[in-house]
Chain A
Amino acid sequence: MAEQNKQTVTFIIERQDGPDSKPYTQEFEIPYRPALNVVASLMEIQKNPVTKDGKKVAPVVWECNCLEKVCGACMMVINGRARQACCALIDELEQPIHLAPARTFPVIRDLLIDRSVMFESLKRIQGWVEIDGTWEVKDAPIQNPYTAQTAYEISHCMTCGCCLEACPNVGPQSDFIGPAPTVQAYLFNLHPLGKFDKEKRLNTLMEKGGITSCGNSQNCVQACPKNIKLTTYLAQVNRDVNKQALKNIFNK
């Protein structure tokens, strides 16, 4: 608990003017108020973008939408760890608070990053269910309620990218699509209609950059703000791809 200085909150923010410019840091001080969080603090800085030593600077750029941990947009590295800025309470953070962009993704400006690689990966694993009009809604196969519980948990994923930022095997040095899209493939494989494309998804996950790039460091499950049991489902997908490999070998 940051009892130390209740009057002000100090931030050290890693900034960057454009995708290819060099990062630099700036220190900001804002007045403290109860229940302040990182997004609200960034808004304060935006209102009055003056550094601690009195220099007027361009306001810090970042992204947010929902402000309640459901959209995923506000992911950044706070005191060394990837998390959602909108639910990072100042009272629970050690000061000075270090903010940095999640460099696993391309940085657009300051704390704003481009997470579109995750959406590309979701397309790659076919993260959707084909609805082809074969059934009237009332005749469609139903989901087993136990399976639905698991599916519900995984469907909480907001593509925030915390798990990718924490994963040592995701980044510019590797082509791993990362834990979130891999586990989303399992979500759609659980769906009564989605499972028609199970083989396709599993075969995609066997390709370069698929699940075999996971090195079992298990950072992802610790990082996920939605508490999705990522490592459990990664093991399940491992099981599934192994079975699929046997089918590929012996069924043809």
Chain B
Amino acid sequence: MINTTFYLRRLHSICGLLALGGMLMEHIFTNSMALGGSAVFNAALETMELIPKPIFLGIEVGLIAVPFLFHGIYGIYIALQAKNNTGSYGYARNWQFLLQRCTAWYLLVFLIWHVGYLRIFTKGISGTPISYELVQSYISNPIIFVLYIIAMFAAIFHFCNGITTFCMTWGIAKGPRIQCVIDKLCMLMALALCLVTVAYMGSYLL
């Protein structure tokens, strides 16, 4: 018995939670350093640069790029299997189900642009190091700022709602009470992370 579907689905789930969730938390953590101003943020980036280049690249490819591509591509396949019906069945969890897919589509496009421009073009090809000043001038463009903040909200929601569904998919939360409690806790966490994001992104503009 091979059951490829089963293993792909579970891999999709665990990839999202650990690799992508980890990456999102790292981004929020490092970027929140911007609250301390230019010196603190640049120092945080330099600390990361201490990781030897080949190892850093290995992490980027093996633990970030590959899981991202898998989660994204297999995710498209999953999203295409849904006919969304919040119009007739407007329950909270059905809305979350829809939002999980909407945020995914937005992030798919956003990440191609974000990674393509900042990581591959700016840092990779032109060799410009990322710094507080660079980010500041980049997001001082109001359109980019708005697109970025939507992307952060989308990623945070997708991650936190993903924890809820992870608990159901892995059979961790079985009964309605625990499922509801986990859902509420995850949405509270999403709210908190969104507030942190607004704070550090806003701090660039002050």
Q: Which residues of A contact B (CB under 8 A)?
A: 77, 80-81, 166, 168-169, 171, 173-174, 176, 203, 206-210, 212-219, 221-223, 229, 231-232, 234-242, 245, 248
Chain A residues with CB under 8 Å of B94's CB are 168, 217-219
Q: Can you sample 12 A-B contacts with CB below 8 Å?
A: A81-B89, A203-B1, A203-B3, A207-B6, A215-B97, A217-B94, A218-B91, A219-B94, A222-B91, A231-B168, A232-B174, A234-B168
A80 pairs with B81, CB closer than 8 A? no
Extra 6 A-B pairs, beta carbons < 8 Å, given A166-B85, A168-B98, A221-B176: A207-B6, A216-B169, A218-B97, A222-B89, A236-B174, A242-B171
Tell me if B5 is interfacial: C-beta within 8 Å of chain A: yes
Separation of A80 and B87 alpha carbons in the complex (Å):
8
Chain A residues with CB under 8 Å of B78's CB are 215
Mark B173-196 against chain A: 1 for CB-CB distance below 8 A, else 0: 111100100000000000000000
B6 pairs with A217, CB closer than 8 A? no
When C-beta atoms are compared, the residue in chain A nearest to B7 turns out to be A245
Q: Count A-B contacts at CB 8 Å.
A: 107
When C-beta atoms are compared, the residue in chain B nearest to A80 turns out to be B88
Q: How far is the CB of B125 from chain A (nearest CB, A)?
A: 39
Q: How far is the CB of B113 from chain A (nearest CB, A)?
A: 27
Q: A210-B5, A238-B171, A242-B171 are in contact. Are A216 and B81 (CB under 8 A)?
A: no
B179: which of A207, A210, A217, A231 is its contact (CB, 8 Å)? Answer: A231
Query: Which one of A168, A169, A208 has the greatest number of beta carbons of chain B within 10 Å?
Result: A168
B83 pairs with A168, CB closer than 8 A? yes
Q: How far is the CB of B4 from chain A (nearest CB, A)?
A: 8
The 6 closest A-B pairs by CB, nearest first: A239-B171, A217-B97, A206-B6, A174-B81, A212-B9, A238-B171
Q: How far is the CB of B84 from chain A (nearest CB, A)?
A: 6
Separation of A210 and B1 alpha carbons in the complex (Å):
14
Q: How far is the CB of A108 from chain B (nearest CB, A)?
A: 21
Q: How far is the CB of A247 from chain B (nearest CB, A)?
A: 10
A219: which of B85, B169, B175, B179 is its contact (CB, 8 Å)? Answer: B85
Q: Which residues of B from 77 to 113 have beta carbons under 8 Å from A?
A: 78, 80-85, 87-89, 91, 93-94, 96-98, 100
Separation of A210 and B100 alpha carbons in the complex (Å):
21
Tell me if B10 is interfacial: C-beta within 8 Å of chain A: yes
Separation of A237 and B171 alpha carbons in the complex (Å):
7
B171: which of A210, A222, A236 is its contact (CB, 8 Å)? Answer: A236
Q: How far is the CB of A174 from chain B (nearest CB, A)?
A: 4
Q: How far is the CB of B160 from chain A (nearest CB, A)?
A: 14
Q: A216-B93, A223-B89 are in contact. Are A231 and B170 (CB under 8 A)?
A: no
Q: A168-B94, A173-B83 are in contact. Are A81 and B5 (CB under 8 A)?
A: no
When C-beta atoms are compared, the residue in chain A nearest to B84 turns out to be A168
A219 pairs with B91, CB closer than 8 A? yes
B82 pairs with A174, CB closer than 8 A? yes
When C-beta atoms are compared, the residue in chain A nearest to B168 turns out to be A216
B93: which of A212, A217, A232 is its contact (CB, 8 Å)? Answer: A217
B165 pairs with A215, CB closer than 8 A? yes
Q: How far is the CB of A185 from chain B (nearest CB, A)?
A: 14
When C-beta atoms are compared, the residue in chain B nearest to A79 turns out to be B88
When C-beta atoms are compared, the residue in chain B nearest to A200 turns out to be B1
Q: A168-B94, A235-B168, A236-B174 are in contact. Are A213 and B81 (CB under 8 A)?
A: yes
Q: How far is the CB of A159 from chain B (nearest CB, A)?
A: 20
Q: How far is the CB of A92 from chain B (nearest CB, A)?
A: 17
B6 pairs with A168, CB closer than 8 A? no
B88 pairs with A81, CB closer than 8 A? yes
Q: How far is the CB of B5 from chain A (nearest CB, A)?
A: 4
A229 pairs with B3, CB closer than 8 A? no
B171 pairs with A206, CB closer than 8 A? no
Chain B residues with CB under 8 Å of A240's CB are 171
B5: which of A168, A171, A212 is its contact (CB, 8 Å)? Answer: A212
A176 pairs with B81, CB closer than 8 A? yes
A238 pairs with B83, CB closer than 8 A? no
Separation of A245 and B5 alpha carbons in the complex (Å):
12
Q: Which residues of B from 1 to 47 have beta carbons under 8 Å from A?
A: 1, 3, 5-7, 9-10
